[in-house]
Amino acid sequence: MSRIADAFARARADGRAAFVAYLTASYPDDERCLAAAEAVLRHADVLELGLPFSDPLGDGPVIQRASEAALAAGAGSERTLDLVRRLRARTSKPVLIMSYYNPIYCYPGGERAFVRAAKAAGADGLILPDLPPDEGAELIAAARAVDLDTVFLVAPTSTPERLRLVTAACRGFVYAVSVTGVTGARADVPAEVADLVNATKAVTDLPVAVGFGVGNRASAARVAQVADGVVVGSAIVSALGRGEDLGALAADLAAGCARTA
């Protein structure tokens, strides 16, 4: 069982949703990113580390700005992989790399080489929101060959046919996007998210984690009622940018995931 599958299974056994936390790699710099990851992982079950991209068209303003700042300070593939390596030395929790396709495509040696490098660094999975499984045959094959999980996204607009196609390409978990839109905390998570989670669970046995728009304990708790996992990104990155105590925020979000709102 992969570290990711294991983390979801353990959360399920505890009667809570898994807490998946996102951080932009090298933001605000490598050391503070690493410290933030450690602080968050005291409460989170899974970490998504964002390899920054110059044109993150699936992201809202918070992650756009964090990516720009990280890139301006020299972030990129090698430093992200290095952060994964350093994190792997400090935690046994699963770490996924989240990015866009071009940095992976352009990696020296191509996507196969990136997948191998990610695995060697200690990553457990890969999420690329602009690579639907239809275009990802080569990446999926490369990931299977080294046992790296591939997480694809389902959306409120996904047809039943697409839900089957996307979930069949997933390993570890399925990422359900709560709203049509980009990343970023919102006032609330729409009630229809339950419909998407249920429709997804009807075609797969994999755990389903919900992301986009979850930013506080209350919304985490609402999502935790219907999903196997809760993904929080912008709210954490935003707090990190303001220099706030991430431990307190992560504890609060974890309480939401434990359905104790």
Partner 1 sequence: MQVPTIQGSPREAGATVRFPLPDARGRFGRFGGRYVPETLIPALDTLESAYLAARQDTGFMTEYAAALRDKVGRPSLLYLARNLTERLGGARVYLKREDLNHTGAHKINNTLGQALLARRMGKRRVIAETGAGQHGVATATAAALYGLECHVYMGEEDVRRQALNVYRMRLLGAEVVPVGSGTKTLKDATNEAIRDWVTNVRDTFYILGSVVGPHPYPMLVRDFQSVIGREVAAQLEAAEGRAVPDAIVACVGGGSNAIGIFAPFAYLGERRPRLVGVEAGGHGVASGMHAASISGGKTGVLHGSLMYLLSDAGGQISPPHSVSAGLDYPGVGPEHSYYAEHGIAEYVPVTDAEALDAFELLSRTEGIVPALESAHAVAHAIRLAPTMGKDQVLVVSLSGRGDKDVAEVLRLRSGAPLEPTGTAAAGEPTGSRVDGGKGAAA
Stretch that binds partner 1, among 30-38, 151-159, 229-237, 247-255 (CB under 8 A): 151-159
Choosing from 30, 45, 59, 228, the catalytic residue is 59
List C-alpha distances in Å: 34 to 169, 200, 251. 30, 34, 18
Active-site entry in 30, 45, 48, 111: 48
**Residue 225 lies near partner 1 (rule: CB under 8 A):** no
CA pseudo-torsion sign 104, 206, 226, 158: positive
> Under 8 Å CB-to-CB from 141, ≥6 apart: which residues?
none
- Looking at beta carbons only, is 68 or 188 nearer to partner 1? 68
Please identify which residue in the block is written with the tokens 């770490």: 95
Task: Give the DSSP letter of residue 248.
Answer: H
Instruction: Lay out the site mask for partner 1 across 17-36 (x = CB under 8 A, - = otherwise).
Output: --------------------
DSSP states along 84-117: HHHHHTT--S-EEEE--HHHHHTSTTHHHHHHHH
192 is catalytic: no
x/- map, 154-193, partner 1, by CB under 8 A = xxxxxx--x---x----------x-xxxx-----------
- Answer for the pair 178, 200: CB distance below 8 angstroms, yes or no: no
Residue 197 as a binder of partner 1 (CB under 8 A): the answer is no
Per-residue contact flags (x/-) with partner 1 for residues 50 to 89, judged by CB under 8 A: ---xxxxxx-xx--x---x--x----xxx-----------
The residue from 38, 82, 130, 252 that contacts partner 1 (CB under 8 A) is 130
User: Residue 55 has what DSSP assignment?
Assistant: -
What does DSSP assign to residue 190? Answer: -
The residues annotated with a catalytic role in the active site are 48, 59
Residues that bind partner 1 (CB under 8 A): 53-58, 60-61, 64, 68, 71, 76-78, 100-108, 129-132, 134-135, 152-159, 162, 166, 177, 179-182
